[in-house]
Amino acid sequence: MSEYRTHTCEELREKDAGKEVRLSGFVKNIRDLGGCVFIDLRDHYGITQLTTENPELLEQIKNINIESAITVDGTVVMRPEENINDKLTTGKVEVDIKNIIVQNNVLLPLPFEVEKSHDVKEDLRLQYRFLDLRNEEIHQKIVFRSRVLKTIRDKMDEMGFIEIQTPILTSSSPEGARDYIIPSRIHPGEFYALPQAPQQFKQLLMISGFDKYYQIAPCFRDEDPRADRSPGEFYQLDFEMSFATQEDVLKSLEEVTRHVFNTHGRVPISQDSFVQIPYKEAMDKYGSDKPDLRNPLIINDVSECFAKSEFNAFKNKTVKAIAIDSSTVTRRFFDEMTDFAKSELDMKGLAWIKINEDGSVVGPIAKYLSEDIQKEMFSITGAKENYGIFFIADEYLKACKDAGNVRQELGRRLGIIDESVYKFCFIVDFPFYEETDDGKIDFGHNPFSMPQGGLEALETKNPLDILAYQYDMVCNGYELASGAVRNHDTKIMTKAFEIAGYSEETVKNKFGALYNAFKFGAPPHAGAAPGLDRMMMLLLGETNIREVIAFPKNSKARDLLMQAPNFVTDEQLRDVHIKVDVKDNNKKI
């Protein structure tokens, strides 16, 4: 017999009646009925009810607090018929206590009731996360995560990928976010960086002759927190394939994703295959490069209509239109959407018209639109009697993004987003470069991607017209994975970075491993990386990513449990040759 248990708190059944058992767990609840006490004992696996009428044990139990860790010896007995609890798998039996050992009694008042931890402020939950995780619902989310990871590993193994770990301490790399840098004690003035992704290493693995690699990879990015993004660190299923095209990767990505969501998803996947949507089409039709395809609303371009209209405020602008069935909404709905656009999207307003049942058109800008223009708009948008049309005007990209946000809000308010399915798509043909706010050319996505058209495109095209073999996988409005066909040629690599303002010498210094490796028979290769935290969020139907992470940071990127980040001692700073230019009278260690 184990020192602490013969059975878990989920195992006992009617067949065990009469057995002498030992259980260990946490005291979930104590019910004192006067002369008889019932204890619900909880462990990782489940709950078993304990009971006793022994006066000595009753006296001992008076000093045991909720959530204390205890071990009990006792006899399994059948519950009376009227006391059977069908909600528990152990609900037909209980343990008549013979002995109790208190392994660790709770000595302080609990900061909250474990079973009601969802009702307290999130920061308090995170400060006492070890208690929060005892809540069965929250506990099971972490158990669920483990099962999903096993499914992923099994599927990747089945598909011929091998798991390889890559370094955590590495060099700084422009991956699109700020690095976390680590000062070196041995090499004064020099720094490691935590990897934003195992990008260079997985490419080097392909050059090393490994055909299909994967790992459950920790990634570190100094980004601002969001509800759907874990600040600082996250995990992804990172994989790469040699001698592979974009289509090869998308096929593998769909295969593993479909398997995971079919195995663990709450609702079915609606498509036989994941549709591919070019980036430009996604921005034009959905106003986003991560469109929620469960929303049936489509954005249409009516710029030409307004160019011919008398509404001068929209001339020489990109004008997007969203038509809705407005038969069930009132005038107030249109006004509330306008208020939303102003307050939440920082738009100047939201123009609209409404088509009455008799075909007449009303709304703030109706008088500026001739009958011919109205008919043209109706033809473009599919609007008809009892429809409304919202209009968004600005420079192209902002008009698209604002229209995308309006589209999603309309979908929510109208209740037309289909919550009963997962809808996936691949966004492809991303721009290779983008223009920064100060007019410079920079990489739009991953700088190690292959430009469509190769070296010739880099040498002859306007950089902003060059597309990349880059792709995202999107599910229900969330970016779930990113990937690309990689550049494997030093000439293309040097030219691509040159256009983004990096000299060849800089490329050699910052990316020397890849730069040199490309000269030694680098194969064509490609890969992708689904985000696992976000995947768990979608599988569990959560909207807050912190709910699916065992020890998350809060919305301000602080670890309230471990009190990080924090100050370090002057001696520690001297060891790594660092001086801190921050004055804080409340310095903590």
In this prediction, residues 151-173 reach a mean pLDDT of 95
Tokens of 409: 């809000």
Give mean pLDDT, residues 340-361.
95
Is the pTM value of this prediction over 0.85? yes
pLDDT (mean) for 276-294 = 98
Q: Does the pLDDT at position 414 exceed 50?
A: yes
Structure tokens at 375: 């008919």
Interval 347-358 mean pLDDT: 95
Give the pair of three-digit tokens for residue 310: 């008398």
- The per-residue pLDDT for 437 is 86
| pLDDT attached to residue 160 | 98
Longest Cα pair distance anywhere in the chain, in angstroms?
92
What pLDDT shows up at residue 555?
87
Q: Which pLDDT band, with edges at 50, 70 and 90, does 510 fall under?
A: confident
Q: How high is the pLDDT of residue 589? A: 44
| pLDDT-above-90 percentage for the chain | 90
Share the mean pLDDT of the chain. 94
- The two three-digit tokens of residue 158, written as one number: 């089945």
What is the tens place of the pLDDT at every residue in 79-124? Answer: 999 999 999 999 999 999 999 999 999 999 999 999 999 999 999 9
Q: Name the H helices within 308-370.
A: 331-343
How far apart, in whole angstroms, are the C-alpha atoms of residue 45 and residue 25?
Answer: 10
pLDDT tens digits, 545-583: 999 999 999 989 999 999 999 999 999 999 999 998 876
Lowest mean pLDDT among 284-288, 319-323, 385-389, 506-510: 506-510
CA-based radius of gyration for the chain: 30
Q: How confident is the model over 422-437, as pLDDT tens digits?
A: 999 999 999 999 998 8
Task: List all residues 6 or more positions away from 336 whose beta carbon is below 8 Å from its beta carbon.
Answer: 413
Pairing outcome for strands 424-428 and 191-193: unpaired
- Are 552 and 546 spatial neighbours (Cβ–Cβ below 8 Å)? yes
Which residue type occupies 66?
I
Q: At what angle do helices 279-286 and 396-414 cross, to 10 degrees?
A: 50
Distance between terminal CA atoms of the chain?
Answer: 45
- CA–CA gap between residue 5 and residue 338 (Å, rounded): 63
pLDDT at 512: 87
Question: Which pLDDT tens digit goes with each residue over 134-150?
Answer: 999 999 999 999 999 99
pLDDT of residue 268: 96
Q: What is the pLDDT of residues 370-412, one digit of tens each?
A: 999 999 999 999 999 999 999 999 999 999 999 999 999 999 9
Q: How confident is the model at residue 182 (pLDDT cuts 50, 70, 90)?
A: very high
Q: What is the pLDDT of residue 582?
A: 74
CA–CA gap between residue 299 and residue 281 (Å, rounded) = 10
Q: What crossing angle do the helices spanning 246-264 and 136-158 adopt, rounded to 10°?
A: 140
Domains of the chain plus CATH, in order, are 14-104 (2.40.50.140), 299-414 (3.30.1360.30)
* pLDDT surpassing 60 at residue 172: yes
Residue 548: CB atoms within 10 A of its CB come to 24
Concatenated DSSP letters of 513-569: HHHHHTTTTPPPEEEEEEBHHHHHHHHHT-S-GGGGSSS---TTS-BTTTTBS----
**152-156, 169-173, 366-370, 541-545: which range is least confident on average?**
169-173
What was the pLDDT predicted at 584? Answer: 61
Query: What separation in angstroms does the CA of 146 have from each of 142, 318, 490, 524, 528?
Result: 6, 48, 41, 34, 21
Residue with tokens 């109205």: 374
